Amino acid sequence: MATQKLKILFVCTINRMRSATAHEIFKTDERFEVSSAGTHKSARNVISLSLLEWADSIVVMEKYHRNYIRKNFPDIYKIKKIVCLYIPDEYDYMQPELVHLLQEKFESVHTRGLL
């Protein structure tokens, strides 16, 4: 019997650099089913109640994103695991340094059982 994949929603501001890169690098990982979204109205994929409900765990890039969820989706905030990776908005899509940071920080929270 196949084990259930953990559904991870990656969140940043405009869903073009950090969360989009995370989505790209983990989309083929057998352990997870991933999606990504942004908090800003101009985001490629704007964060929504249905996306938040879909996710088992939410991984945000900065404290601001967690606070955004707390303010705009308080019921979700109370029941979902939300982990912050503390990755500043200073990288380009698929930039090697960003890929390395995401892999290192995400694997760390996963292996510590925080998701």
Contacts of 32 by beta carbon, 8 Å cutoff, 6+ apart: 5, 6, 7, 8, 26
How far CA 82 is from CA of 92, 100, 112, in Å, comes to: 24, 21, 14
Are 81 and 115 in contact by the 8 Å Cβ rule? The answer is yes
Task: Indicate whether 82 belongs to any domain.
Answer: yes
pTM for this prediction: 0.96
pLDDT in tens, 90-109: 999 999 999 999 999 999 99
What is the span of the domain harbouring residue 30?
6-111
pLDDT at residue 1 greater than cutoff 70: no
Domains held by the chain: number: 1
pLDDT in tens, 38-81: 999 999 999 999 999 999 999 999 999 999 999 999 999 999 99
Task: Indicate whether 102 belongs to any domain.
Answer: yes
Q: CA nearest 102: which of 14, 8, 39? A: 8
Task: Indicate whether 56 belongs to any domain.
Answer: yes
Task: Indicate whether 1 belongs to any domain.
Answer: no
pLDDT at residue 24 greater than cutoff 90: yes
CATH of the domain at 71: 3.40.50.2300
